[in-house]
Amino acid sequence: MENIIIIEDDPAISDLIRLNLELAGHNCRQAYSGQEALSVFTDFSPDLALLDITLPDMEGYKLLERLKQSEVPVIFLTARNALADKVKGLKMGADDYIVKPFEAMELLARIEAVLRRYGRKSDRVECGGLEIYLQERTVKRDGVPVELTMKEYELLLLLLHNRNKALSREKILELVWDYEYSGETRTVDIHIQKIRKKLGWEDRIKTVYKFGYRLEVSP
């Protein structure tokens, strides 16, 4: 449960990000202007800020300086993809840079990476009766270790990071097995069967018809 502040003036995009982050188990607050962000900041101590560069009352760069003073990791969200803008943002201390339009999965992965880099992500994840120790790469169910192969463990992590969202077989294959062909989606099915059984998650890992799988956990 990380606190994330979304500073974005377009309500549609802001809501979209909030919905995605809440599905992944984050705690969100929205701010639609620089001033609002600063006032939200006082009673909500975020672990990470998503910051739009074009804000109605100030440039995102200005807000970045303020945020950096309180050592909050910042990911820039912007429609500008000029190299100069990226370099400027990163030089000023932004931790990452996401260009609109972006995919929710990419956003989540980048948030994950930045949080881990800052050590804000706890080493231990609890989900659906499982305890996952990221450092040791071990999984326990009710205190009893569950034996998982490398690929099974990675598949579990991928599902956890994208909880409540359907992942296509192709995407899973690409992200876990590192290759981009759709011929061997059977491999995904076999591994899903195995971890369902090993973790006792027959109900939680849902098959999405003609698409892929979704890990359902109440947020």
- Binding footprint of another protein on the chain (CB under 8 A): 9-13, 15-16, 19-20, 23, 33, 54, 56-57, 79-81, 100-104, 164-167, 206, 208, 211, 214, 216
Tell me how far apart the terminal alpha carbons of the chain are, to the nearest angstrom.
Answer: 9
CB of 43 to another protein, least distance (A): 23
CB of 12 to another protein, least distance (A): 4
CB of 52 to another protein, least distance (A): 10
CB of 110 to another protein, least distance (A): 15
Output 27 or 54, the one with its CB closest to another protein.
54
Nearest to 108 by CA among 218, 2, 215: 2
| Residue listed under structure tokens 């400027």 | 88
CB of 206 to another protein, least distance (A): 8
Output 13 or 113, the one with its CB closest to another protein.
13
Give how far Cα 107 sits from Cα of 18, 19, 42, 60, 181, Å: 11, 12, 25, 18, 23
**What's the CA gap between 86 and 28, in Å, rounded?**
25
CB of 55 to another protein, least distance (A): 9
Sheet architecture: strand order including 96-99: 27-31, 3-7, 48-52, 74-78, 96-99
Output 121 or 165, the one with its CB closest to another protein.
165
Number of Cβ within 10 Å of residue 114's Cβ equals 19
CB of 14 to another protein, least distance (A): 10
Output 65 or 103, the one with its CB closest to another protein.
103
**What's the CA gap between 163 and 215, in Å, rounded?**
5
Nearest to 128 by CA among 218, 10, 49: 218
Output 15 or 180, the one with its CB closest to another protein.
15
Output 13 or 38, the one with its CB closest to another protein.
13
Output 20 or 30, the one with its CB closest to another protein.
20
**What's the CA gap between 123 and 132, in Å, rounded?**
8
Q: Which residues of 169-185 are buried (b: 16+ CB within 10 A; e: fewer)?
A: bebbbebbbeeeeeeee
